[in-house]
Amino acid sequence: MVDIIYICALKQKISMNNTSVTCPVSINRINESVARVAAFFTIVITIIGVYFKSPYIIAGLAIDFYLRAFTSGKYSPLKAIAKTVASYIGLPWKQTDAAPKKFAAAVGFVFTVAIAILFFLNYEILAYVVTGVLLVCAALESFAGYCVGCVVYTYTIRPFLNEETEEPIIINL
């Protein structure tokens, strides 16, 4: 049972049952509002790709996840559109740590590659199951501001990082 409420916002901390998760975990910041709009567009593109059973649409989304996860995101079309939409509708700038969001994008990349391959191989039921998980995660991010990938990051990656330098901790056995 998880007894922690996770909120990854600049210098926020919530603790329950004497256990706490504290941010920041990264020196780089991104706009949470843009991430939430990008998650909404992820939902839309995923639904379109699944409706047409198109591994190519899903593969295009995988490329965008790759650009956001493994590069600066400068060339991500979805990030550019999300920035424009967030600005146009007047969403506020909310700082959040970049590292967990990049990890979540990497997970999204793995999911979308899996979905594209499953559709390409005609394993539609498995593709729908993986799509369902991706859609739930994207919906939680977009509508509730809850980043499942960020929570996974906190428990799997963060314990092995030096918080001051973001470098992996060397464990000598």
**For residue 16, pLDDT beyond 80:** no
23 in any annotated domain: no
**For residue 52, pLDDT beyond 60:** yes
Question: Hey, what are 57's tokens?
Answer: 């649409």
pLDDT digits (tens, 9 = 90+) for 118-164: 999 999 999 999 999 999 999 999 999 998 887 887 788 767 766 65
Total number of domains constituting the chain: 1
How far apart CA 36 and CA 3 sit, in angstroms, is 25
7 in any annotated domain: no
CA distances from 10 to 24, 28, 96, 97, 112 (A): 6, 11, 6, 7, 29
Q: Is 156 helix (H, G, I), strand (E, B) or coil?
A: helix
pLDDT band at 25 (very low <50, low <70, confident <90, very high): low
17 in any annotated domain: no
> What is the extent of the structural domain holding 83?
29-144
Residue percentage of the chain with pLDDT more than 70: 76
160 in any annotated domain: no
**For residue 105, pLDDT beyond 70:** yes
3 in any annotated domain: no
pLDDT at residue number 161: 67
pLDDT at residue number 100: 85
Give this prediction's pTM: 0.78
153 in any annotated domain: no
86 in any annotated domain: yes
